[in-house]
Amino acid sequence: MDIILPNSIERILLDEATIQQRVQQMADIISTDYAGLRNEEFLLVGVLKGSFIFMADLARRLTVPHRVDFIALSSYEDSAAATGAVRMIMDTRADVARRHVLIVEDIVDTGYTLQYLYRIFGARQPASLRTAVLLSKPDRREVEVTVDYLGFQIPDVWVVGYGLDYADRFRTLPYIAMLKPSVYEK
Ligand code: PRP
């Protein structure tokens, strides 16, 4: 059966089966790497809003005990703030000290968000700090950041679906798709 695409969608970049297969592979690797930890020792931290679908699928495929927590960030949009400046608007409920922390992100673009998260969480004495990121746009990188578990590298195109949005739309599409340039060039 053909998938009927919303009008604003140019084409599907990563279909549902491809994403699910990759998320399963990532979950298998992460489950191996974090084997032997107790529930309270392994904390997944999702970065809202974009990571909520990836987090749900990844976490449900892990075979090791873990806790789930979330943070919310916002970019400074006023011109007085430095480029790429990020601030936290909701912190984790759990204390990250002495826990193995895995930050779960939908996408790394310029790298400023992950750089901020490494700095903030790194200062809180976690037992370890790693990142699981579904998508990376290497062409957009402005600061070098380490991604420990990466799903896919993609070109510099505007993508939506599977948590990613354009003006808070399209987040719940089950696939990742390119937006028609006419949508964001208006
Ligand atoms: C997106 C994404 C990352 C960040 C990556 O969030 O979820 O957090 O941008 O970009 P960077 O590498 O250039 O810092 P966004 O600000 O779109 O918020 P959202 O997750 O709520 O959609």
Assigned domain for 164 exists: no
Burial of 58 (0-12, 13-18, 19+ CB in 10 A): buried
Probe target for ligand 1 pocket from 109, 159, 162, with the most ligand atoms within 8 Å of CB: 109
Angle between helices 52-61 and 16-33 (to 10 degrees): 60
Q: What is the CATH number of the domain that holds 26?
A: 3.40.50.2020
Looking at residue 5, its pLDDT comes to 84
Q: Strand order of the sheet with strand 86-90?
A: 86-90, 67-75, 42-48, 100-108, 128-136, 149-153
Looking at residue 42, its pLDDT comes to 98
The pair of three-digit structure tokens given for residue 65, joined into one six-digit string: 């005990």
Contact 47, 117 (CB under 8 A): yes
Q: How far is CA 103 from CA 17, 38, 137, in A?
A: 24, 18, 18
Contact 176, 161 (CB under 8 A): yes
- pLDDT tens digit sequence for 80-118: 556 778 999 999 999 999 999 999 999 999 999 999 999
Assigned domain for 179 exists: no
Assigned domain for 177 exists: no
Residues in the chain, pLDDT under 50? none
Instruction: Find residue 69's DSSP bridge partners.
Output: 45
Cβ–ligand 1 distance for 134 under 6 Å, the answer no
Assigned domain for 46 exists: yes
Domain range enclosing 130 = 18-154
Assigned domain for 162 exists: no
How far is ligand 1, taken at its centre, from the CA of residue 148, in Å?
A: 18
Looking at residue 1, its pLDDT comes to 64
Cβ–ligand 1 distance for 115 under 6 Å, the answer no
Q: Which helix (H) or strand (E) holds 17?
A: helix 16-33
Assigned domain for 57 exists: yes
- Number of domains making up the chain: 1
Assigned domain for 100 exists: yes
Assigned domain for 12 exists: no
